[in-house]
Copies of this chain bind each other. A is one copy, B any other.
Amino acid sequence: MLEQDTAKKYSEFKVKELGIKLARLGRIVEHLEIPVLIVLEGWESSGRGEIIYNIVRELNPKFYDVKVFEPLSEKEKAYPEMTPYWNAIPEKSHIRLFDRSYYYELFNHKEASAAYDLLKQGIENYEKALYDDYTVVVKFFVNVTEKTQRENMEALIDDGYEQVYVEKLDREQNKHYEAYAKRFEHGLEATNYSFAPWHILDGADVKEASKEALGILIDQLQIGIERMLRRREGGMRLVRHYQGDRHPLAELDLTKTLSEDDYDAQLKDLQKDAADLQLKLFMAKVPTVLVFEGVDAAGKDGSIERLIKRMDPRMVKVHAISAPSAEENRYHYLWRFYKRLPEDGKMSVFSRSWYGRVMVERVEGFAEKNEWERAYKELPQFEKELYDHGALVLKYFVMIDKDTQLTRFEDREDDPDKQYKITEEDWRNRNKWDDYIEAMDEMLERTHRDYAPWILVEGNDKNYARIKVLKTFIQQAKAHLKAREGKDK
């Protein structure tokens, strides 16, 4: 790939001219609320700085920025590897340029290793998710010969900029040029996706390379604009809808109960055990992600409360997820969840979660069919990333029958300390009970995974439900720690 001939199509243009053309498209992109991600990779000392300067020079500073990724800090390493990049995705109307990126990390991993494959998969999922969300993703790699790289370094040193611009890696690459070239070649080939192909820029002449980059960006923005317009006219790509025929919720035995005495006899010990296990997870640096879903008034929050009762509130955070805010809506729907991931050793409990995509957003039509159907691939990928990073991922679904729900709604309305829990919306959702059950059944069937299992909880009897949540957490946490020990050996 590095050998690829980059035609000098734009020689006759001035950089400024091309910049102005790009800025015009930038304003259209802004109007149409298209996010744009430009990834700029390449050799060290290949002139990336000047290329960036030429790319952005005519853009409205209000709608672009440059995000520089340094090698990951210890703090950043305490999260799944793609987290910093998810946190940094461009919002709608915004052009963001990554100076270095996940590719910097990828190219520094050994090519044939589990870590390499995982990161590669994470990158593919990331770029695909952004592409599917109508982000324009453009990737550049600035290639230089060994000689040009050396000359660039010497020029920087002559100018007195050694301290700022010439780092250990620059020298290292130049010394082992062939080895790095091979590594880049391999990495570029492996990540040259049809939805986000690489564009090689020849760093021999930085001005020409800048023009080439501008020309490519102009083309790609036009393509992105057309895609978005087609989408707005309803022309989304159709997807085949998979429909299972199992009905896990109907199979639940909701008559299960636990007496008050049995409940009282077990509760405190189980809570102590759960808290102990959370501390063990903390000491083992295992992050925990717990999802609680269920029909309204099923008792999700009550179960969460009992589960975390004795845990250290500094290590456990409950995220009550409701409709995305106006700001959150300006990003890919997974963005707000990446922002809420626990760091290693801590626990995030989600009262409602990313599964809203295939439940409320599906039933109420907030997501188009195309979008929620796609989520069936994206959500397990997301959870696999957490698991691969070492997380314990458990998903609870608490179920009650329709009569029980009615009783609880009425109780809530009559209790001034609980009234805030019941809204008009809950009554509206209740009217769509069957639609929700259909969506939930499908969700439970299609997103159950060994690495992120659904645990169905019979919720008509609150005592029974709370004890079941505690017991299954304890059991799963123990198993996770044990499996981990096995691996460490």
Assembled-state Cα–Cα distance A20/B75 (Å): 37
| A 314-344 to B, binary, CB cutoff 8 A, 1 in contact else 0 | 1001111010011100000000000000000
User: Does A133 lie at the interface of the complex (its beta carbon under 8 Å from any beta carbon of B)?
Assistant: no
| Contact, CB under 8 Å: B20 / A417 | yes
Once A163-B283, A164-B282 are accepted as A-B contacts, the answer to whether A99 and B62 lie under 8 Å apart by CB is: no
- The answer on a CB contact under 8 Å between B320 and A49 is no
A351 interface residue (CB < 8 Å to B): yes
Please pick, from B23, B27, B52, B61, the residue contacting A318 in the complex, using a CB distance under 8 A.
Answer: B61
B52 near A314 (CB under 8 angstroms)?
yes
**One of B66, B319, B420 near A313 (C-beta < 8 A):** B66
Question: Chain B residues with Cβ under 8 A from A171's Cβ?
Answer: none
Integer count of this chain's copies in the complex? 2
Asked whether any CB of chain B lies closer than 8 Å to the CB of A161, the reply is yes
> Closest Cβ of chain B: how far from A323's Cβ, in Å?
13
Residue A216 lies at the interface, judged by CB distance under 8 Å to chain B: no
Contact present for A52 and B313 (CB under 8 Å) = yes
Residues from chain B with a CB closer than 8 A to the CB of A75 are: 73, 75
Given contacts A61-B319, A65-B317, A164-B279, 17 further A-B contacts (CB under 8 A): A24-B417, A27-B420, A49-B312, A49-B313, A52-B313, A52-B314, A60-B320, A61-B301, A61-B304, A61-B318, A61-B351, A62-B320, A68-B314, A73-B75, A75-B75, A163-B283, A164-B282
Instruction: Give the interface of A toward B (CB within 8 A).
Output: 20, 23-24, 27, 49, 52-53, 56-57, 60-62, 65-66, 68, 73, 75, 99, 161, 163-164, 279, 282-283, 301, 304, 309, 312-314, 317-320, 322, 325-327, 351, 417, 420
What are 13 A-B contacts defined by CB distance under 8 Å? A49-B312, A49-B314, A53-B312, A57-B309, A60-B320, A62-B322, A66-B317, A75-B75, A163-B283, A164-B279, A164-B283, A325-B326, A326-B327
